[in-house]
Structure 1
Amino acid sequence: MNTSTHQAFQGEQRDLVRGFTPFPHDRADEYRRAGYWQGRRLDDILRDAARQWPDKPAVIDATGGLTFGELDALADRVAAALAARGIRPGDRMLLQLPNSKEFAVAAFALLRAGAVPVLCLPGHRSAELGHFAEVSGAVGLIIPDVAAGFDYRDMATELVEANPDLRHVLVLGEQGPFDSWSDLRNGPDTTPPAYDVDTTAPAVLLVSGGTTGLPKLIPRTHDDYVYNTTASAQACGLVHDDVYLVVLPAGHNFPFACPGLLGSMTVGATTVFTDDPSPESAFALIDRYGVTVTALVNALAKLWTQACEWEPVLPTSLRLVQVGGSRLSREEARYIYDGLTTGLQQIFGMAEGMLQFTRPGDPVEVVANTQGRPVSPHDELRVVDENGVEVAPGEEGELLVRGPYTINGYYRADEANARSFTPDGFYRSGDRVRIFADGPRAGNIEVVGRIKDVIHRGGETVSASDLEDHLLTHPAVYAVAAVALPDDYLGEKICAAIVFRGAPVGLADLNAFLDERGASKHARPDVLVPMPSLPMTAVGKVDKKKVVAAITG
């Protein structure tokens, strides 16, 4: 590395860690001594897999597959092409590709080039991506041409006009006015430039589910995310002969690293991608490839279970089905356990870090009645009352967490960090829980509610306040409350209770308005209820419990 290149690299690294809250030195040293942090780069997961199992299928989608050796070489080729285009170590790149082997190629190529992927979801639109670009200082994005009827190139045009720093736009498919992903992918085999990596710095930026305002960026370091991945694989008992099916959006923390794609690689297991989660399609893939492990949200798990009553091809090879995203009731868990697989694994976790899993071999009482126990022996959990005082064992309260793979602050979000983290580094989850103190469920956690104002719709966490802010910009909307209503399949559906200024506007028109504003696709009201006024609390806030009571009768 010559002097000018080295100086540029140092500048990018300094910019990368601006607004990043690192782990305190004492805790970082403790995690290294315990062997959790080993100074490995995140992309070493693929390098090591290619070295051990070069001819084993690594990733498969509807267009074919790649072995670990082929995927590793392709990541190098694309990384070198990215570097040649001026993408430098420390640069941030928005990555928004559908479930496919190209997602894996792009993620590892960015990591191999030293860039930091910002893992966007397919449903994010210009409002969210523009926010991510501004906060992260991203220099480009990687998108499909058209997916699920949406033209991402039109969105990219809008984003580039508003964010001139987005100099690199790569399109998978018909490129339109932008650069072609295929040109990078199909170029000559070359080696990317070498560079030093600080494994305590961010490797990827995940996006939060959103609790207040637009989603926040979650900086996951090489050290903590490698551990997140390997510890999750161990908690699932993942082995070399497993085949993992990515059904949920691949940019989610859940199917990416819990254990997901990354965890599968740590043991040499194959990953199959699909963008069609319907039972008919998914069951056929499970049968074709002998899929043994997958991750589902509550609503999808129940749909698959129901479909076992009529589908001609059943998912008999599944040995482990992880279910997370929203709490399963005892009845729902037992329904899935009895009807889909006795290998049900309940998951309670967050992209910010902390993961709780039930374990293979746990008695059904634990699997059906709890959301599991911590992945790491060094996970620290506190359950506190509204004054921040720890409650007695077995009592309910808000869960506070910290540990070797839980962040210490959102990326460039000082106000959110002041609300979300305690002075001694515990993350305020916003979830109301209790930890069983005795009996067969001792040490396991039960999620009993939430404190933050969010709606869990089909596995996506929707910020009520963000949706309300969007709706309040409509000229016909005087006041609005976004609330959750129970739904048998989605878990919760989104209800917009609205006080209109004059004649009510229809649900279809309101959702079209949200489309025009570039609001996230998954943040669309399912139900619209016009109201003459919204009930208020004694301190002048909307009383959402009374709103729900008025709607449900």
Structure 2
Amino acid sequence: MMQGRSEMIGDAAGPRYSIDAVRYRPIAEARRQLADGNWLDLTIGETLRQAARERPDTVAVVDRDGVTTYARLDADTESVAAALLDLGLHPGDRVLFQLGTTREYFTAFYGCMKAGVVPVCTLPQYRSLEMEHFAQATDARAIFVQADCNPSFDQVGFAQQLAASCTALEHVVVVRGERDGCVSLAAAAQAYPIEEARVRTGDVAPNALDVAVFQLSGGSTSLPKIIPRMHGEYLGAVRHLSQRYDLTDADVTLWGLPLVHNAGTMFAVLPVTLDRRTLVLQSRLDMREMLELIARHRVTFTGSIGPVAAKLLEIDDLHRHDIGSLRQFFALASAEAVERHVGLPVGQMFGMTEGMVFASSPHDPPAIRHRTIGYPISPGDEVRLLVPGEEAEVAFGDIGELCFRGPSTLTGYVGDEEATAASFTASGFMRSGDLMRAHDIDGTVCYSFEGRIKDNINRGGEKIGAEEIEALVARHPDVADVRVVAMPDPIYGEKVCAYVIPQAGCDCVTVASLGEFLLGLGIAKYKLPERVEAIDAFPLTRVGKADKAMLREMVAAAIAAETRQTA
């Protein structure tokens, strides 16, 4: 087993840099997970140091602006770590991330890992409503922000305003740009020669139990909840994911989606250093560019979260592109259609930031790859399908709520004991809110996704809580009541539809007027309703609640009728 420069777990009684409001696993369980091979006794910063020692001149990351070798990334991030400590940050402190898909993300991320500083993985699209919440909930002391992420929005100015309104937020670190009064990541990366930086960071020695990052849930009822992911378990999950896909250091991954998400971290960020797998980045989704990058860099592995699969199916001259290096492709849906289109193995997968990932192997039969989401990536994962709201298991083959426990399962939402208590069964299984069905295919038990209990919308991989949007729409003076549901979309899978009961004497709000109002409240643009339906009264269930299933059927039927009319 790989070891870093510190003793890692050794005789430790727990994490080295404990954070209040985080639930940690008992040391005995940690040792059991390590012994079983489900965790790695290693930290994320050490994976980069080891990779640089073994392959200093190998290319780690490629983007449109150039390449970064392991040696260069190691030196730059060691300097960043030392510079963060010079700012007065300490191991265990939290910092907000609002960064896009560029090589500089790795400089910021691994710099934090080496300083023991914990990134809070937010999106550049988030605005004041979300960012103030995350800053206050985590007591974040700094924010990393990308200056050129959005040419029509002053991301750095926004970060400065956020820092002025949040007392704990002391530093703004600017990535891909500079601004007076802010710290430049580029300057921090060159502040120290590597050996001098190593002296400065030498006393920072987290272990496998320490928190590496705070990820965010796809919450259904409010702003996303905060999920701690620890070094050892996160690395163990990434190793299992790579093994499921038969990926090695000879593979080249292409990633054109957010790096900051759990999916980006597991498929792209951590395998660069853990598995020594070269990563090619695409800053914005463009299918023609994606195909060119596959050919240029001999990409062997990529996939679809959100609109990638749908847009790939629209390419009708795929035979003109050299994608012969690709060995496999993953998808959240439409695997059979994509496989038929690209002519290589495609399998569906499913993952939750709370710690459960299902996937199939490229060697599995099509029935598993196409009709199911596969099976748990870790041999330590346990799955139960329960009657929703109860603790009884459904019969094999019946639909039930996915409940799970295992080496990476959430220990508890940060600072939210109520949500934590509501999320577990009496026997310690995490309730997912997702409906699944078990199948036995050629002796392998695998699962198919059958819908959701939780009331959220999945817009191209970004989860939007329906109740969060309803509470904000209800503040509009012309709205008497509102229900928000998912409506089907051929590219993003789902978008937000708002069914609105107007105030007496008022016209129904429009998509444009409602969007302007909601943006004024400070929410991310991708959460805005993209269809508004006026309604006199909501259909009701037998217990008198608004029947959202019926509303979803109504908007789907309306969209289908409109599509037929324009065909």
Letter of the structure 1 residue corresponding to residue 424 of structure 2: F
The count of corresponding residues between Structure 1 and Structure 2 is 533
Q: Find the aligned partners of 2:106 and 2:131 in 1 and give their Cα distance.
A: 20
Query: What is the match of residue 95 of structure 2?
Result: 93
Q: Find the aligned partners of 1:487 and 1:45 in 2 and give their Cα distance.
A: 40
Match for residue 109 of structure 1 among 108, 111, 116:
111
Query: What is the match of residue 80 of structure 2?
Result: 78
Deviation at 1:383, TM superposition (A): 0.7
* SS in structure 2 of the partner of residue 23 of structure 1: coil
- Post-superposition CA distance 1:290-331 (Å, at most 9, x none): 11111312531121122143684353322121213xxx2xxx
Contact residue 126 and residue 158 of structure 1 kept, 8 A: no
Deviation at 1:343, TM superposition (A): 2.4
Contact residue 437 and residue 449 of structure 2 kept, 8 A: yes
Q: Does 1:187 align with 2:207?
A: no
Contact residue 370 and residue 441 of structure 1 kept, 8 A: no
Q: Find the aligned partners of 1:198 and 1:26 in 2 and give their Cα distance.
A: 15
Q: Give aligned-pair identity as a percent.
A: 34
Q: Find the aligned partners of 1:188 and 1:224 in 2 and give their Cα distance.
A: 31
Query: What is the match of residue 9 of structure 1?
Result: none
Change in 2 beyond 3 A, CA 1:523/1:22? same
Match for residue 229 of structure 2 among 220, 226, 240:
220
* SS in structure 2 of the partner of residue 43 of structure 1: helix
Deviation at 1:116, TM superposition (A): 0.6
Contact residue 42 and residue 207 of structure 2 kept, 8 A: no
**TM-score, structure 1 length as denominator?**
0.92
Letter of the structure 2 residue corresponding to residue 350 of structure 1: M
Letter of the structure 2 residue corresponding to residue 222 of structure 1: H
Q: Does 1:252 align with 2:261?
A: yes
Letter of the structure 2 residue corresponding to residue 220 of structure 1: R
Q: Does 1:231 align with 2:240?
A: yes
* SS in structure 1 of the partner of residue 525 of structure 2: coil
What pairs up with 1:366-377 in 2 under 5 angstroms?
366-377=368-379
Contact residue 276 and residue 282 of structure 1 kept, 8 A: no
Match for residue 432 of structure 2 among 426, 429, 441:
429
Match for residue 175 of structure 1 among 137, 162, 179:
179
Change in 2 beyond 3 A, CA 1:372/1:439? closer
Match for residue 502 of structure 2 among 500, 503, 512:
500
What pairs up with 1:379-528 in 2 under 5 angstroms?
379-386=381-388, 387-436=390-439, 438-440=440-442, 442-501=444-503, 502-528=506-532
Match for residue 300 of structure 1 among 303, 308, 318:
308
Q: Does 1:164 align with 2:148?
A: no
- For the aligned residue pairs, the C-alpha RMSD in angstroms reads 1.9
- Post-superposition CA distance 1:478-521 (Å, at most 9, x none): 11111111222211121111112112222112112222222123
Unaligned runs of 5+ in 2: 1-14, 559-567
Query: What is the match of residue 270 of structure 1?
Result: 278
* SS in structure 1 of the partner of residue 507 of structure 2: coil
Contact residue 248 and residue 295 of structure 1 kept, 8 A: no
Query: What is the match of residue 135 of structure 2?
Result: 133
Query: What is the match of residue 7 of structure 1?
Result: none
Q: Does 1:286 align with 2:294?
A: yes
Q: Find the aligned partners of 2:299 and 2:43 in 1 and give their Cα distance.
A: 28
Q: Find the aligned partners of 1:477 and 1:343 in 2 and give their Cα distance.
A: 49
Moved over 4 A (4+): 13-16
Deviation at 1:366, TM superposition (A): 1.4
Unaligned runs of 5+ in 1: 1-12
* SS in structure 2 of the partner of residue 48 of structure 1: helix
What pairs up with 1:12-31 in 2 under 5 angstroms?
16-31=18-33
Change in 2 beyond 3 A, CA 1:164/1:171? same
- Post-superposition CA distance 1:165-214 (Å, at most 9, x none): 11011112142553322221232322232223232121111111222100
Letter of the structure 2 residue corresponding to residue 200 of structure 1: L
Deviation at 1:249, TM superposition (A): 0.4
Deviation at 1:23, TM superposition (A): 2.1
Change in 2 beyond 3 A, CA 1:176/1:500? farther
Deviation at 1:90, TM superposition (A): 0.6
Which 10-residue stretch deviates more, 490-499 or 152-161?
152-161
Contact residue 320 and residue 341 of structure 1 kept, 8 A: no
* SS in structure 1 of the partner of residue 325 of structure 2: coil
Query: What is the match of residue 538 of structure 2?
Result: 534
Contact residue 391 and residue 425 of structure 2 kept, 8 A: no
Deviation at 1:26, TM superposition (A): 5.0
Q: Find the aligned partners of 1:285 and 1:344 in 2 and give their Cα distance.
A: 19
Change in 2 beyond 3 A, CA 1:134/1:335? same
Match for residue 252 of structure 2 among 235, 243, 248:
243
Q: Does 1:350 align with 2:322?
A: no
* SS in structure 1 of the partner of residue 349 of structure 2: strand
Change in 2 beyond 3 A, CA 1:16/1:476? farther
Q: Find the aligned partners of 1:207 and 1:280 in 2 and give their Cα distance.
A: 31
